[in-house]
């Protein structure tokens, strides 16, 4: 293999593979709500085949750049299990549920997702639940989905406290997101009562099985609450930069004992830099994180795409490490001795990995 670092395959705890081909197509928004409305319109113009191509194109990017396991949000669950069969990736698909009106009821939405999951069987991949976000769901869905996941010992994921507009909506019952959602039929009776994190807790949705994605906008005490409830937080550095969110409270969260992972989010919220085509890559995310938090040791940054997401996905000792009993998911990354420490050199790797093995099979075989 030449001069390489042999590593456990990287784990991307939060992605939307089906939006990959929206890369660069949406106008960079002034406000988060603007972007949500744009992507809803863009999705309406796509057929299932577009989503399927987009999903596979994202999966290929992840394999090329060293990801071997992905936690993916499925807005189009009809793509499964065909999408799983067409990729070597280990996929944890979270079936997205949204709904702010009375029909379908939260109970019906959940039942439809459970029925679908019940029909999905695959040797490597599996499906769990994702109530989309506090603002895009009725609180009852958060409560029902959390208890359904708990009974089955499943992981569950939700976008939480992503934007200032979401934060304003829940803390003060005002702002652009609050007004828009009210116009389209959300009751908003659950707003004005505390932060999005407190909202999640009020409906029992903060548990050790939750991957809370983003957690950018926290009130005093929220980080400690997430820590007490053993919630896992997933931070998406390039998506964070795209939306110009307030500083990610990394130190507050880790001081509170929260397990923080890094992930790509979708390619629909990444800024193109120069002429390089946009690609899903955890190496890019590690570098963006390091730009924002230069004092965090490179070895610790690497843990946020290996050991930490393995814990978040409930598979410590199986994913994210090379050890007896772990899955045979591994990659080799070319390293150069010119760049300080080995970890520093790994983080600055660009392009594809030298080899990738997933579940004991070559996803990228060694060159002859
Ligand atoms: Zn997301």
What does the pLDDT look like over 281-320, one tens digit per residue? Answer: 999 999 999 999 999 999 999 999 999 999 999 999 999 9
Between the CA of 189 and the centroid of ligand 1 the distance, in Å, is 25
Question: How many angstroms separate the CA atoms of 155 and 161, rounded?
Answer: 19
Query: How many C-beta neighbours within 10 Å does residue 247 have?
Result: 11
With bands split at pLDDT 50, 70 and 90, how would you rate the model's confidence at 10?
very high
Q: What does the pLDDT read at residue 368?
A: 76
Q: What does the pLDDT read at residue 85?
A: 98
Between the CA of 248 and the centroid of ligand 1 the distance, in Å, is 16
- How confident is the model over 28-42, as a mean pLDDT? 88
Q: Are 89 and 65 in contact (CB under 8 A)?
A: no
**What CA–CA distances, in Å, run from 179 to 30, 113, 137, 164, 169?**
16, 29, 15, 14, 9
Between the CA of 40 and the centroid of ligand 1 the distance, in Å, is 14
Between the CA of 338 and the centroid of ligand 1 the distance, in Å, is 36
Which residues neighbour 368 within 8 Å (Cβ) at sequence distance 6 or greater?
none
Indicate the helix (H) or strand (E) that contains 24: none
- How confident is the model over 345-352, as a mean pLDDT? 94
Between the CA of 13 and the centroid of ligand 1 the distance, in Å, is 10
Q: What does the pLDDT read at residue 295?
A: 97
Between the CA of 158 and the centroid of ligand 1 the distance, in Å, is 8
Q: Per-residue pLDDT for 339 more than 80?
A: no
Question: How many angstroms separate the CA atoms of 195 and 215, rounded?
Answer: 11
- How confident is the model over 111-138, as a mean pLDDT? 97
Question: How many angstroms separate the CA atoms of 127 and 216, rounded?
Answer: 26
Total residue length of the chain: 368
Instruction: Say whether 69 sits in a helix, a strand or coil.
Output: strand
Q: Are 330 and 357 in contact (CB under 8 A)?
A: yes
Q: What does the pLDDT read at residue 74?
A: 98
Q: What does the pLDDT read at residue 233?
A: 98
Between the CA of 337 and the centroid of ligand 1 the distance, in Å, is 36
Would strands 361-364 and 355-358 be described as parallel, antiparallel, or unpaired? antiparallel
Between the CA of 323 and the centroid of ligand 1 the distance, in Å, is 31
Q: What does the pLDDT read at residue 29?
A: 84
Q: What does the pLDDT read at residue 340?
A: 78
**What CA–CA distances, in Å, run from 199 to 12, 52, 78, 134, 205?**
27, 34, 31, 8, 9
Q: What does the pLDDT read at residue 188?
A: 96
Between the CA of 15 and the centroid of ligand 1 the distance, in Å, is 6
With bands split at pLDDT 50, 70 and 90, how would you rate the model's confidence at 235?
very high
Q: Which residue has the tokens 């390619």?
A: 267
With bands split at pLDDT 50, 70 and 90, how would you rate the model's confidence at 277?
confident
Q: 150-183: per-residue pLDDT in tens?
A: 999 999 999 999 999 999 999 999 999 999 999 9
Q: Which residue has the tokens 């931070």?
A: 235
Q: Per-residue pLDDT for 222 more than 80?
A: yes
Between the CA of 204 and the centroid of ligand 1 the distance, in Å, is 21
Q: Per-residue pLDDT for 269 more than 90?
A: no
Q: Per-residue pLDDT for 102 more than 90?
A: no
Between the CA of 69 and the centroid of ligand 1 the distance, in Å, is 16
Between the CA of 50 and the centroid of ligand 1 the distance, in Å, is 19
Query: How many C-beta neighbours within 10 Å does residue 123 have?
Result: 7
Between the CA of 33 and the centroid of ligand 1 the distance, in Å, is 14
Provide, rounded to the nearest whole percent, the portion of the chain with pLDDT above 70. 100
Q: Per-residue pLDDT for 348 more than 70?
A: yes
Q: Per-residue pLDDT for 69 more than 90?
A: yes
Q: Are 305 and 15 in contact (CB under 8 A)?
A: no
Between the CA of 72 and the centroid of ligand 1 the distance, in Å, is 9
Between the CA of 107 and the centroid of ligand 1 the distance, in Å, is 23
Between the CA of 162 and the centroid of ligand 1 the distance, in Å, is 9
With bands split at pLDDT 50, 70 and 90, how would you rate the model's confidence at 273?
confident
Query: In the predicted model, what is the mean pLDDT of the chain?
Result: 95
Indicate the helix (H) or strand (E) that contains 28: none
- How confident is the model over 204-223, as a mean pLDDT? 98
Q: Are 246 and 240 in contact (CB under 8 A)?
A: no
Tell me the H-state helices in the chain.
32-44, 48-64, 82-85, 106-119, 139-152, 164-172, 176-183, 196-202, 222-228, 237-243, 250-255, 282-292, 298-303, 307-312, 342-347
Q: What does the pLDDT read at residue 178?
A: 97
Q: Are 126 and 154 in contact (CB under 8 A)?
A: no
Report phi then psi at 128, rounded to 5.
-130, -165
Between the CA of 332 and the centroid of ligand 1 the distance, in Å, is 28
Provide, rounded to the nearest whole percent, the portion of the chain with pLDDT above 90. 87
Question: How many angstroms separate the CA atoms of 159 and 186, rounded?
Answer: 18
Between the CA of 245 and the centroid of ligand 1 the distance, in Å, is 14
Q: What DSSP assignment string belongs to 180-221?
A: HHHHTT---TT-SSS-HHHHHHHTT---TTEEEEE--S--TT
Q: What does the pLDDT read at residue 208?
A: 98
Question: How many angstroms separate the CA atoms of 218 and 196, rounded?
Answer: 8
């Amino acid at each position: 293999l030449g001069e390489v670092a042999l590593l456990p395959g990287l784990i991307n705890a939060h992605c939307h593979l089906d939006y990959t081909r929206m890369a660069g197509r949406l106008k960079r928004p002034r406000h988060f709500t603007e972007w949500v409305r744009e992507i809803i319109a863009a999705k309406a113009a796509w057929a299932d085949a577009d989503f399927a191509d987009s999903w596979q194109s994202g999966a290929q990017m992840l394999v090329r750049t060293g990801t071997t396991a992905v936690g993916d949000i499925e807005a189009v669950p009809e793509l499964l299990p065909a999408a799983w069969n067409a990729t070597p990736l280990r996929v944890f698909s979270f079936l997205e549920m949204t709904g702010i009106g009375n029909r379908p009821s939260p109970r019906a939405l959940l039942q439809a997702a459970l029925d679908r999951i019940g029909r999905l069987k695959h040797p490597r991949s599996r499906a769990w639940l994702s109530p989309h976000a506090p603002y895009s769901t009725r609180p009852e869905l958060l409560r029902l989905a959390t208890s359904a996941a708990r009974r089955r010992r499943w992981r569950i994921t939700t976008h939480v406290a992503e934007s200032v507009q979401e934060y304003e909506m829940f803390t003060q019952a005002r702002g652009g997101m609050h007004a828009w959602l009210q116009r389209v039929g959300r009751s908003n009776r659950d707003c004005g009562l505390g932060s999005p994190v407190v909202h999640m807790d009020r409906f029992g949705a903060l548990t050790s099985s939750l991957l809370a994605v983003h957690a950018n906008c926290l009130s005093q005490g929220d980080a400690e609450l997430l820590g007490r409830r053993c919630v896992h937080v997933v931070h998406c550095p390039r998506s964070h930069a795209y939306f110009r969110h307030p500083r990610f409270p990394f130190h507050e969260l880790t001081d509170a004992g929260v397990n923080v992972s890094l992930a790509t989010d979708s390619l629909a919220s990444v800024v193109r830099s120069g002429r390089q085509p946009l690609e899903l890559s955890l190496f890019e995310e590690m570098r963006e994180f390091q730009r924002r938090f230069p004092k965090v040791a490179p070895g610790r940054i690497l843990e946020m795409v290996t050991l930490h997401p393995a814990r978040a996905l409930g598979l410590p000792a199986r994913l994210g490490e090379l050890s007896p009993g772990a899955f045979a998911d591994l990659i080799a990354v070319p390293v150069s001795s010119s760049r300080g420490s080995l970890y520093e050199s790994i983080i600055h790797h660009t392009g594809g990995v030298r080899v990738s093995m997933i579940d004991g099979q070559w996803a990228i075989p060694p060159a002859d």
